[in-house]
Structure 1
Amino acid sequence: MPYSTCKPQHDDHLHLQSLLQSARPFLRGQLENIDNKLPSLISVLKSVGAGECWHKHGTFLDHLIDIYRILKLWRSPDPVCLTGLFHSAYSNSYVNLAIFDPSTGRDVVRNHVGEEAERLIHLFCVVNRQKLIHDDLLFRYEDESELVRHVNESENSLIKARNSVFEDEEEEWRKKIQSVLPAEGIVMKHIKTGEDVHLSRRVVALFLLMTIADFSDQLFSFQDVLFDNADGTLKFSGNDWANALWPGDGKPGLWMNSLSRMGAIYTLIVREEELYLLKQSQQEQQKQELVNHSNRDEDIELVIPPIFENCTKILSAKDQIEARDLYWEGVCEVSKRGLDKCAELLNRSVVKNPFVGEPHVVLSQVYLSQGRFDEAEKEGEEGLRLLLEWGSPWDKRMSWEGWIAWCRVLIMKAKERSWPETSWGILNLGLVR
């Protein structure tokens, strides 16, 4: 079905409450309410030292739990979420984090997460993900206008196919995605042994989805300095290792253009998969024969994350940079510029990048300070929605849980139509109802 961004206000409220209800076990630390095995699985990760390993924005343990949370909030199936929880446990092409030895530990991991999840974890760790995600997928779609056009065309094709009207398979978008990822999948080399490793198209899509979650959780301005990502395209081509002093200035990173393009490619894969199955089903009914799809992993469910308007929009590198800089100027220069100028900067930031929550959250506080309660409530709820949909923060100076807690305070005070006018009054805030 086509996605719609025009929803009645009542539906918006119900959607926000649904998102909050899904996130509440994570916010309250009630992990057993998510999966009764989850606390014991996290204890396993702790016992092998995941909490002692440095990882980009904190510890490896924190990162693993965060990826599980993101995938769960995106409504991924349990084996996929468990793959996220253990996703680099054998080490991989990006990082040296082998907390389980793949030569002796696969049975151990399999006993914890099950056969399906362990197979995905192992595949994730033995293929060259940089080559797969960037060289073989992302850089094959460097023309953003082409990618936008293909996403639009694919939606129209899918609508027709669901009504048993199949377009010519020579459609431009289908020919390209099939050339990048054939229906039978691809073969890559094992990063250590050099052996052939078959990846079905659905497994490739899953690894793309996990990379989106992975990058959203860990990237901030430190990596921009490290790889000289001044243009915001995140090609990992620079090498400024000497000047990248961790954690740096804490700015939001320039990773959203890259992830929005990944999301659009993911959508193309998902739509091509559905078209393929619809066509196969039609042919099987006509011929009354069954086709063996055993090597295509058709039992893996591919979900569409809610980010970037259900992975249908691309944020340009230019808009990403301008939005980030407007936000940073607004939050860092408010004492010099004043609240009106801060609000102007934040509103301009939101126009440039409408896909992140933090500018809305800060804008909500500005409006509360100005007594503009209706506007504060609107911005607070939009910020909360986006934060809950991402499952991770864009501005990583504070945790995802911290941003949500603060945002909910702002919304509560906006509804009460009150805001403290003393410093102690601000410090006394905290209770969320």
Structure 2
Amino acid sequence: MPTSPVWGSRLKTRGVVLDLIRAARTISRVELAASSGLTPPTISEAVRDLMTDGLVVEAGRGASTGGKPPTLLQLNPNARYSVGVQLERNACVIVIVDLAGRQVARTSFRGTAQMPPQQALPFLATHVNGLLDAAAVDRDRVLGVGLVSYGPQDRHAGLLLTPQPTDEWFDYPVAPRLAEILGMPVVLDNDAAAAAIGEYWIGTVDPRSTYGCIYMATGIGGGVVVAGEVYRGSSSNSVEIGHISIDVHGDECPCGNRGCLENYAGPAAVVRQALDTPGLADQLVLDPAGTDFLSEFARIAAAANAGNADARHLIEQSARYLGCAAVTITSLFDLDLIVLAGPSFAVAGSIYQTLIQQEVDRRTFARRAHPVRVVPSVSGSDAAAVGGAVLVLQSELTVGHAHAEDGMLPVRITSAGSTSSTRSPRDQRSIPE
């Protein structure tokens, strides 16, 4: 049944008001009207609806400006929860966040690289259920799961379009299958895009900022956020900076391009370079046959911090390459901020931050018009998992969480490639963008 224009407008208003309350932490109705441009009666109606649903609560009185002190509003953090899952080649992180974006539970374990998806996803679901049980989170309050991973991917169908870590994962319906096992909605998204939007939600980025995120785990990815919205491109596979060509005559990459950044600056590349450096592999006890590039890379980064000249050279070389990528996305999108996120920045992040900042300061096209800051993610290694949970929460804040009788329940993926919903065909998706 198509959504009426009146209901669509009501949802939009509700989402605007809820997002303003989230961003302000505490705010009065008068301030909401001034910030949104909506009329006081419209604000009162939207706030009343949100309070009836338990999403917003009153939080005492604000300072008086001459009359009656205003009543302050804030999100009710326990009203809703979401789960974020970072599915990496070598590691997996699961977090639960509340409606305010605060992390309430976390677990991590070795990745599922050696498992076929038919085995890995039930294993993953067991960990999700175990974490929800341990945190005593009521599943009726869980909006869904944000499953974030590397690309390319078909976000709407919930498919990975890459034969990594093995051919069995290619074109496998990871989101529909996980939703079926868990019995709750699951949305698939890019890990770098998720990490980028997570910074906005948590409130560490100016809402007016146009900023980018460089995400480095086993590979390198990127994301750009404009006015609180992730830049998606035509298929949600945008800003793949790891596959920017930095050498047109370089080796062919599995992605099809040549001379990709990831093959020069990514953790796997740094590990290969370390293995080729005389004596370094023995010093750091690197495994030539190993596949856990995150752990091996962390050893190299730690040695760089400790003053090992060869390790330092490799990390600085990687950082300079990433600086080149940062200059590229800054010039393309006219960014004013770059966030460094992901587990591979955990140990040597200060080296990367310093050298990337130097490259941006020296080479960015618009450097005389405005500065560009390079900063670490507030969520660190968990940025993608937290961002995955945030993407689910955004469905609450952008269009509002409607009731079954309104015909607007989130799509529940019931089997591979199929969905059930009462939305109009144009709105068929598991989590609204």
Shorter-chain TM range is under 0.3
Q: TM-score, normalised by structure 2?
A: 0.26
Q: TM-score, normalised by structure 1?
A: 0.26
Higher share in helix: 1
Higher share in strand: 2
